[in-house]
Amino acid sequence: MNKSKLLLPRMAAANIRKNGSTYFPYIGVSIFTMFTYFVFDLIVNNDLMEKLPRASYAIVFVEIGFGLLSIIMVPFLYYTNSFLIKRRKKELGLYSILGMEKKHIGVMMFWESLVAYILVMAAAIPLGLLFSRLLFLMLLNLAKLPVDAVFAISPRAILDTLVFYALVSVLNLFVNLVQVGKARPVELMAGSRKGEKEPKSVGLTIWSTMGILALGTGYYLAVRAEINSMLFADFFLAVLLVIMGTYFLFTSGSIALLKHMKKRKKYYYRPENFITVSGMLYRMKKNAAGLSNICIFATMFLITVICTVSLGLSMDSIIAYSYPRTFELYFSGEQDEELLKAVMEKAASDTGVELADYLGWKGIPHNEVYIEGNRLRTREADDNIFNSSNVLLMTAEEFDSMEHGQVNLEAGEALIFSRGADFGYDTLLLGGSQWRIKEELAECSFGKKIENEAVQRDFVIVFATSEERIRAAAGLGLGEEQKVFRMACNPKGEDGAIDAFRDGVAEALADTAGYVTYGDYRQDVAEVESMYGGLMFIGIFFGSIFLICLLIIMYYKQITEGFEDQNNFEIMQKVGMSDEEIRGTIRKQIRLVFALPLAGAILHTVIGMNMVVMLMAALHNYEVKLLVICTAAVCMVFAAVYAYCYKRTSTTYYKIVRHMN
């Protein structure tokens, strides 16, 4: 009795060992996947993350990345399992013919899944514990967080990993049991060699139409993307539609191409072309799934790497745009700039701090102004705060003082400067008054102009006299009593010296009439660097995962097709097909499928660049030229790596079809 109970578990263990060429790659892929999941879970659930200063942004982005990773892993593991069960069908059919009932086969498959689960967890968790500290230090370094922290092991992360892979294993086991349970023994015996039926023309038309609509809509969303509250929702919708369109078009489009080749009799009835076209046509459904997955993972890799490299190279530009000056003094009313500047310079001299990029300006600011054509107005009940702009109203005299120059304005004239897109009108309406725009300035000391900043544009508007400025301010519900004075600069020196300078200035100005407070933005700059460091960590991590998943799919695709084509090539060899003709057939097949995923991935990336530009702009990365250069460079490097990997995997394919062990 005991021996009979142990028979199926022993058979399961023996099956895994004997089918090592099929099982071990699947187990290796699962180990890699669960190692990745476990490491991310360890970082997310580490108590230290919440205690570290400036870590809030890194925590948010790591949690988002972990959620996306969990979603990606389920279909990926399901995809690799589909190759495994297809290779096992002949063996399972033989068991059934020899008299083993399907319920016993099901129990044996359960034990196989359990053994595989134990092997994967026994390897993934120790590897995760070994390398998680290294990856955590990488996150700390990129996010510029303290590296003298102790990394603790989270029991919850271990439990999460065990439960997650258990759920995936149950899903795969259920699918396998359904496939085996529904099939007859003869069908199982032929299952590993069975190809797909040639799709009918009606189905081909439907799939093509669905693919064109899905891909076209996704492309439309990407090309027409704008920086607004729907940007991220549109991004995920566009990604989903492009994935669907890619799958449908790879299936229908590739079959249409093969059918066209088949109709060309002079081309089709050549030995090397006949094998390539006919072989691919009758299993294109499965082949197209592999190609579309390669295309999708390649696209995800390209966009992830492009964004990560662009962010890394644009960090200084992002900081300079968000915080052009890290120290600022706030005053209300009229002030003597020279006197206050002397106080600040004395404090700098006393503490050994150098003052750079000094800027002083006077005017009436308003932080919630809405633009309707050439009209500026205050906020109304149904306005979205995210669509507001900042406006600074200045006189010509105040503007001359800030710019150390001279402007000449007549009554009814105004100058305007926009940090974002141009205002673009010849006249300006404020309240019931109108001004003629004499000139729209291309540069201003107040801030750097960014053409593709479309959300919150900062405006400087210059009027000829204080009376005209008062009239303009009244149109926004403001008065001369809202006039302010600001002094800003970048203190250079040790942090302790800058702290002493800041405190010295605040103490010296404490009793000054109109003094409000100071702003020390070094902490804000550190938080921004921490946020982008967390983004770069996720980009590097996900880019690596996408590339490895891509290579795994390519490998599985080649070995699976190799086993499927093995018998066909054996027959062709027996009827006189030479090794050179076989190699020619393989080269044609490789060329046929090589360019499709690569071309599709590059096309998706190029079409999606407008949306990528908008996403980068939402993160204050406005270096569009750099982004274009990164796109071209990453695509070229990826194409070279992709070609090399396909060449290597095609060698494996050839060895399989030629029985070269």
Query: Using CA atoms, how far apart are residues 625 and 177, in angstroms rounded to an integer?
Result: 54
Main-chain phi, psi angles of 578, to 5 degrees: -80, 165
Pairing of strands 389-395, 375-378: unpaired
In 3D, which of 412, 438, 411 has the Cα closest to residue 426? 438
CA–CA separation, 548 and 250 (whole Å): 22
Write out pLDDT tens, residues 496-527.
999 999 999 999 998 889 999 999 998 888 87
Q: How many residues does the chain have?
A: 661
Whether the CB-CB separation of 40 and 66 falls below 8 Å is answered with: yes
Q: Are 458 and 419 in contact (CB under 8 A)?
A: yes
> What residue has token string 């009239």?
471
| Residue-level pLDDT at 590 | 65
Whether residue 63 has pLDDT greater than 80:
no
Quick one: pLDDT at residue 573? Answer: 63
Burial 619-630 (b: 16+ CB within 10 A, else e): bbbbbbebbeeb
Question: Is 83 within 8 Å of 184 (Cβ atoms)?
Answer: no
Measured between alpha carbons, how far is 393 from 504 in angstroms, rounded to an integer?
31
| CA 533/CA 141 separation, integer angstroms | 8
Tokens, residue 243: 């994935």
Give 396-423 pLDDT, tens digit per residue.
999 998 988 888 888 899 999 988 888 8
On whether the CB atoms of residues 204 and 256 are closer than 8 A, the answer is yes
> What tokens does 240 get?
């989903």
Can you state the angle between helices 284-313 and 231-263, rounded to 10 degrees?
140
Most confident of 274-283, 480-489, 616-625: 480-489
Q: How far is C-alpha 108 from the geometric centre of its chain's CA atoms?
A: 41
Is the pLDDT at 145 greater than 70? The verdict is no
For residue 634, give the DSSP letter.
H
Residue 605: pLDDT band (50, 70, 90) is very high
Cα–Cα separations (whole angstroms), residue 605 to 222, 242, 623, 646 = 10, 11, 18, 20
What mean pLDDT is predicted for residues 358-372? 88
Residue 289 CA to residue 172 CA, distance in Å, equals 18
Please, which pLDDT band fits residue 368 given cuts at 50, 70 and 90?
confident
Bridge partners, residue 561, by sequence: none
Query: What does the alpha-carbon distance between residue 638 and residue 650 come to, in Å, rounded to a whole number?
Result: 18
**If residue 329 lies in a helix (H) or strand (E), which one and from where to where?**
strand 327-332
**pLDDT digits 0-9 by tens, 476-485:** 888 888 899 9
Mean pLDDT of 109-135: 86
Strand-pair category, 413-418 with 458-463: antiparallel
Phi-psi domain of 643 (left: phi exceeds 0; alpha: psi -120 through 50; beta: other): alpha
Q: Is the pLDDT of residue 202 over 60?
A: no
Q: What is the pLDDT of residues 311-359, one digit of tens each?
A: 889 888 888 888 889 999 999 988 888 999 999 999 999 999 999 999 9
Measure the CA–CA gap between 441 and 450, rounded to whole angstroms. 13
pTM: 0.78
The H or E element spanning position 370 is strand 354-372
**Which of 76-80, 330-334, 463-467, 621-625 is predicted with the least confidence, judged by mean pLDDT?**
76-80
CA atoms of 443 and 457, how far apart (whole Å): 14
> If phi over 0 gives left and psi between -120 and 50 gives alpha, with beta otherwise, what is residue 659?
left
Q: Whole-angstrom Cα distance, residue 519 to residue 347? A: 16
Query: Which candidate, 185, 194, 195, places its Cα nearest to that of 91?
Result: 185
Which of 432, 398, 431, 393 shows the shortest CA–CA distance to 414? 393
DSSP states along 399-444: HHHHHTS-----TTEEEEEESSS----SEEEETTEEEEEEEEES-B
Q: 246 and 215 in contact (C-beta within 8 Å)? A: yes
167 vs 654, which has greater pLDDT?
Answer: 167
Residues 36-58 have a mean pLDDT of: 70
Confidence of residue 133 (pLDDT cuts 50, 70, 90): confident
CA separation for the pair 109, 116 (Å, rounded):
10
3-state secondary structure of 99: coil
pLDDT at 90 over 70: no
Helix axes 579-607, 609-618, angle to 10 degrees: 50
Nearest-angstrom CA–CA distance, 71 and 542 = 13
In the chain, DSSP finds a helix count (H) and a strand count (E) of 21, 10
Q: Which helix (H) or strand (E) holds 265?
A: helix 265-268
Q: How is residue 479 annotated by DSSP?
A: -
Query: Which of these ranges, 138-147, 176-185, 307-316, has the smallest mean pLDDT?
Result: 138-147
Mean pLDDT over 245-267 rounds to 76
H-type helices in 314-336, by residue range? 315-322
The tens digit of pLDDT for each residue in 545-555 reads 888 888 877 77
- What type of residue is 55? A
Task: Tell me the average pLDDT of the chain.
Answer: 80
Query: Is residue 492 helix, strand or coil?
Result: strand
Rg value, the chain, Cα: 33
Which 3 state secondary structure label does DSSP give 171? helix
Strand (E) or helix (H) holding 355: strand 354-372
- 351's tokens: 């503490």
Q: How far is it between the farthest Cα atoms of the chain? A: 107
